[in-house]
Amino acid sequence: MHLSGKTILVTGATGEIGSAISRALAAEGARVLVHYGRNQAAADALAAELGHGALTIDADLADPAAPTQLWAKAEATGPIYALVNNAGIRSEVSVTDPLADWHAVWQREMQINLTAAVDLTKAAILHFREEGGGRILNIASRAGQRGYSANALPYGVSKAGLINLTKSIARSFGGEGILCSAIAPGWVETRMAEEFIAQHGADAALSEIPIRQMATLKELGELAAFALRPSQRSLNGAVLDVNGASYTR
Ligand code: NAD
C-alpha cells in the first residue's frame, strides 16, 4: 500500500483512463478525489467502489474559472498529496472549415486539455509549498510528441503544451519537493479504439505498433500508481512513453 492515507485529485476520473487510474491508486490505499464534468451517477458509483474515503467533486473545465474552484473544493477536504491532470477531449476541425468554427475548436481544446491543467497546477503548487511538497502527473499523448493528424491539430498541440509544462514544473519546482511527470500513451484499448477498429479494421491501428497491441487500461493504471509512489522521486520531469514502440525517441 504505497499510497496509503494519501489524497489524490484525479480529473476526468469517470472516463475510461481516469477510472482505471483511480482504481489503481485506491488499490494502493489512496483517498481519491473523483472529479467529474457531468456524470454525477458515474462519479458516485466510482467513489463508492474505491472506498478509502473517496469523494466526488464536479467542475466543467471548459469554464475558465472552474479549475481554480475545483482545487479550492479539493483543498477544503484536507492536505492533497498529488494532482493527476487526466481530463481531456479530442475534437476534429479542418483547415477548410470557417474561421469561427476553427477558433471555437482550438479555444475549447486548449482550455480543457491545457489551460485547465495549467490553472490546477498553479493552485496545486501553492498548496504543495505549504505541505512541504507534492506530485503532479499529466496524462499527455504520443500525439504531443510526434505530431498529429490534419483533422485534429489542436489535440496534438495541447498535449505538446502539457509535456512542456511537465518539464518546466519539474525543473522549476523540484527543489521544493514538487515533482511532476507525464504519461504519453499511444493507442489505448478504449471505446474510441474499438470504434476505430470497427470502422477501419484492426490492421489500421496495430500495423504501426511493433508489439501489435494497444496499451491496456490496466497498464496505464499500474504505471500511474507506480509513478506516484513517494519512493519514485527521480522520475521528476520524465515523460513515460506507453506506445509499444510505435514512437521512439
Ligand atoms: P474519456 O473520454 O473516457 O475521458 C475523458 C474525461 O475527461 C471524462 O471523464 C470527461 O468527463 C472529462 N472531461 C472532458 N471534458 C470535460 C470538461 N469540460 N469538464 C470536465 N471534465 C471533462 O477519455 P480517455 O480515453 O479516458 O482519456 C483520458 C485522457 O487520456 C485524456 O487526456 C486523453 O487525451 C488521454 N489519452 C487517451 C488516449 C486513448 O487512446 N484513449 C491516448 C492518449 C492519451
CATH number at residue 140: 3.40.50.720
Query: Does residue 1 sit within a domain?
Result: no
List C-alpha distances in Å: 246 to 4, 14, 90, 169.
35, 28, 20, 27
- In the reported structure, the alpha carbon of residue 163 is separated from the centroid of ligand 1 by a whole-number distance in angstroms of 16
In whole angstroms, what is the distance from residue 15 CA to residue 245 CA?
25
Atom of ligand 1 nearest to the CA of 85: 32
pLDDT profile of the chain (249 residues), mean per 10? 98 98 98 98 98 98 98 98 98 97 98 99 99 98 96 97 98 98 97 88 93 97 98 98 97
Query: Does residue 84 sit within a domain?
Result: yes
Chain-centre distance for alpha carbon 143 = 14
Pocket of ligand 1 (CB under 6 A): 12, 14-18, 36-37, 60-62, 86-89, 112, 139, 141, 185, 187-188, 190, 192-193
Query: Is residue 138 a contact partner of residue 10, using CB atoms and an 8 Å limit?
Result: no
Mutational pocket test of ligand 1: of 9, 17, 34, 145, the residue with most ligand atoms within 8 Å of the beta carbon: 17
By annotation, the residues acting in catalysis are 155
Query: Does residue 198 sit within a domain?
Result: yes
According to the model, what pLDDT value does residue 196 have?
84
Note if the pTM is more than 0.85: yes
Domain residues for the domain of 214 are: 7-242
- In the reported structure, the alpha carbon of residue 175 is separated from the centroid of ligand 1 by a whole-number distance in angstroms of 31
Query: Does residue 156 sit within a domain?
Result: yes
Query: Is residue 39 a contact partner of residue 112, using CB atoms and an 8 Å limit?
Result: no
Determine the Cα angle at 25 with ends 164 and 139, to 5°.
Answer: 20
Query: Does residue 247 sit within a domain?
Result: no
Query: Does residue 166 sit within a domain?
Result: yes
Query: Which among 168, 189, 198 has a CA at the least distance from the CA of 244?
Result: 189
Own/partner contacts of 174-178, CB < 8 Å, gap of 24 or more, are: 174/236, 174/237, 176/128, 176/129, 176/133, 177/128, 177/132, 177/133, 177/134, 178/125, 178/128, 178/129, 178/133, 178/134, 178/135, 178/136
- In the reported structure, the alpha carbon of residue 141 is separated from the centroid of ligand 1 by a whole-number distance in angstroms of 11
| Domain count of the fold of the chain | 1
Query: Does residue 105 sit within a domain?
Result: yes
C-alpha cell belonging to residue 29: 490505499
Query: Does residue 132 sit within a domain?
Result: yes
C-alpha cell belonging to residue 130: 505549504
